[in-house]
Amino acid sequence: MCPTPRYDRICDTLELTPDEYIVVRNSLVDKDLLAFDGRRFQVLSLPPAPTASARRPLVPQEDFEDHDPATIRNIIRSSIDRRR
């Protein structure tokens, strides 16, 4: 069960567990791409230029699933395609 009933649809559509959903949501908030006040969301503007951060290499598959944009995109797309 997702944190609140209105998140059920998001979790079901993306085939995310509630814990995965919270990690993704918090990651977007940490990157200032999403504002969340505990009840409501607001999608924020992208920064004018990409911000570079020092990152460690992605080695195990879990790192790619959690941090590689292309892998995350493929997981989301395949999840949505399976639902259709």
Structure tokens at 55: 């990152």
Predicted confidence at residue 84, as pLDDT, reads 65
**Percent share of the chain, pLDDT over 70:** 86
Domain boundary assignment for the chain: 5-44+56-83
pLDDT score at 54: 62
pLDDT at 78: 84
pLDDT for residue 53: 65
pLDDT tens, residue by residue, 3-38: 455 778 888 888 888 888 888 888 888 888 888 887
